[in-house]
Chains A and B, each alone.
Chain A
């Protein structure tokens, strides 16, 4: 039986979260979702994920909480693959995200199939899957 990869999706738009959860679960992932940076940080501290998909902005105002989440993942669990999504991507933001070690920087809107291909590629050969284990 192939390994079950566990992913965390962070986005402040509930319909997007809902759609992404549905799609990734149907694709065979175990999925947790949240719209809050603090909840994401709490999950990352206690749950072992294989990949994190984060929206750049979670408050609807000019803040970039997604960058903080990427930085946190890189510091605490560097084996986790990261994807940053943004509808407001500027070259400066992308440079900063790359500096923080993001694995993929994608512009919204992005078809779910393409997003899933990126995630599958990041988790490709050699990935064993977390089986959803708690750390």
Chain B
């Protein structure tokens, strides 16, 4: 295998596997879809089938730009199955927005190719290393907002998704990792953190998405703390677009 063997395989347009997980609001037992997040994995029956392994590897190879483009392209292609009313959330590394001056053009062109309106898109910023190109990162974010793309900050409170990133991103959505969410019903300290994130988001004019919601009691606690948006197996596991449509969670 060549030195770039695995990366080249990942860049094959049909290699990546895309599933979508709903982000919902709830009102009692009723659920309403806010958006679907595209979750991309590597080829089946390879080491890259695991998303954490895939993206850890990509970061170690410093190939975030190429892989993010491939993932965005694959997600937009698969999203053509959805009705045009369905909003889409796509993951992008902060490093990509810093290093790829053509990313915005790429996103607009690819969305246009698949007839996906930019106003349907949210970019979820994942951040795993200190950012040295802060100026270009912020400029790209401003340009994205200008063309109608919403910004979400992924994994708020974990790793590098800290106060500095919140300031730099000024996200529309604060996505809180399942680490803080799972077990919050019986954990005063988790509740304290969630409450503070909720209060901070409100000050920013943003909303909180609780990820990894798997338990009714946690859902009740999150609702009591003011969280309105939820994502997790309690509502729906990630599924291929066609399967999600037939599940009834999306109005065709």
| A interface residues with partner B (beta carbon < 8 Å) | 12, 14, 32, 34-36, 38-39, 41-43, 45-47, 59, 134
Contact = CB atoms under 8 A, between A and B. Distances in A.
B6 A36 contact: yes
Nearest to A35: B1
Contacts of A36: 3, 5-6
Nearest to A135: B52
11 contacts: A38-B61, A39-B6, A39-B47, A39-B57, A41-B60, A42-B60, A45-B53, A45-B56, A46-B50, A47-B50, A134-B50
Contacts of B1: 12, 14, 35
A87 to B, nearest CB: 19
Interface string B55-79: 0110011000000000000000000
A41 B60 CA distance: 9
A108 B6 CA distance: 26
A47 B53 CA distance: 8
Interface in B217-242: none
Nearest to A58: B3
B3 A59 contact: yes
Nearest to A45: B56
Residue among B5, B47, B52, B56 having the largest count of chain A Cβ atoms under 10 Å: B47
B3 A42 contact: no
Given A32-B47, A35-B1, A38-B61, A43 B6 contact: no
Residue among A36, A42, A43 having the largest count of chain B Cβ atoms under 10 Å: A42
A32 B49 CA distance: 12
Nearest to A34: B47
Contacts of B53: 39, 42-43, 45-47
A42 B6 contact: no
Contacts of A39: 6, 47, 53, 57
Given A14-B1, A46-B56, A47-B53, 16 more contacts: A12-B1, A32-B47, A36-B6, A38-B57, A38-B60, A39-B6, A39-B47, A41-B56, A42-B54, A42-B56, A42-B60, A43-B47, A45-B52, A46-B52, A46-B53, A59-B3
A35 B5 CA distance: 10
A47 B48 CA distance: 12
Nearest to B1: A35
Nearest to B59: A42
Interface in B112-160: none
Contacts of B61: 38
A41 B55 CA distance: 12
Nearest to A13: B1
> Lowest 7 A-B CB distances belong to which pairs?
A42-B56, A42-B57, A38-B60, A46-B52, A42-B53, A46-B53, A35-B1
